[in-house]
Amino acid sequence: MARTVLSARAPLTAVLDVVAPVGLYYGLRAAGAGIYLALLAGAVVPAISMMVRLIRGGAFDRLAVFVMTTMLIGVGVAVIAGSPRFLLAKEGWVTAVGGVWFLLSARGTQPLAFLFARPLLEGRRAFTSEPWISLWERHRRFRRAWRVSSVLWGVGLLVDAGVRILIAYTLPIDLVPGVAGALYPATFVVLQVIDQINYRCSGLWQILREGNSGSGGFRGSGPG
């Protein structure tokens, strides 16, 4: 039930974090609001969404705290500096924080890709009923798949961040929120395609389907 609720909330989270800020910005601009006010109002929506997730708690508290802190610092500096361009570039810096966190987690106890996917996929009927923590401990290729996945997402998010910062300082200001908003689904789709190739080549889906009955070729211990 909890996993179903989490999956159902994912589109709502995407709307709050991406669509709502862009819509609010252009709505306020159409109503005659200044660029700076419209940008600040749009920045409040993802901040509130992140704060709600922090209050509810979960497996990603450390990342959420880190990103939330970066967002608040970015907004604060933008307010002091009075720079719409800096406020637009803030999304790029926040995305870069996420990318670095993915990369650092790849050599940690459990990488972020594993932590994000586990509540959504663990226990599904198409997969084994074996707990993922057991699969993590027994299968070297299972561990490696998630570590590679975290590296892919880390690098992808850093590239996305660079593009965001570039367009924030080069495109006309009123174009930036729309282009930056469209970049989110584009980045997500590209990274998902690349990640699916990683999962297939690593044998991840076969491991998840077979679990305890998996062939010896998927078993393994030691550093992964």
pTM, two decimals, is 0.76
- For 81, phi and psi rounded to 5 degrees? -75, -25
Which is more confidently placed, 8 or 77? Answer: 77
Among residues 114, 89, 102, the alpha carbon closest in space to that of 169 is found at 89
Of the ranges 1-15, 18-32, 53-67, 168-182, the best mean pLDDT one? 168-182
Least confident of 15-19, 107-111, 124-128, 167-171: 15-19
Overall average pLDDT of the 65-71 stretch: 63
Position 2 pLDDT exceeds 60? no
For 8-20, how does the pLDDT look when each residue is reduced to its tens digit (9 = 90+)? Answer: 455 556 556 667 7
Domain range holding 151? 2-218
- Total domains in the fold of the chain: 1
* CA Rg value for the chain: 20
Indicate whether 223 belongs to any domain.
Answer: no
Overall average pLDDT of the 35-59 stretch: 70
Indicate whether 94 belongs to any domain.
Answer: yes
Indicate whether 15 belongs to any domain.
Answer: yes
Indicate whether 181 belongs to any domain.
Answer: yes
CA geometry: angle 5, 10, 120, nearest 5 deg:
60
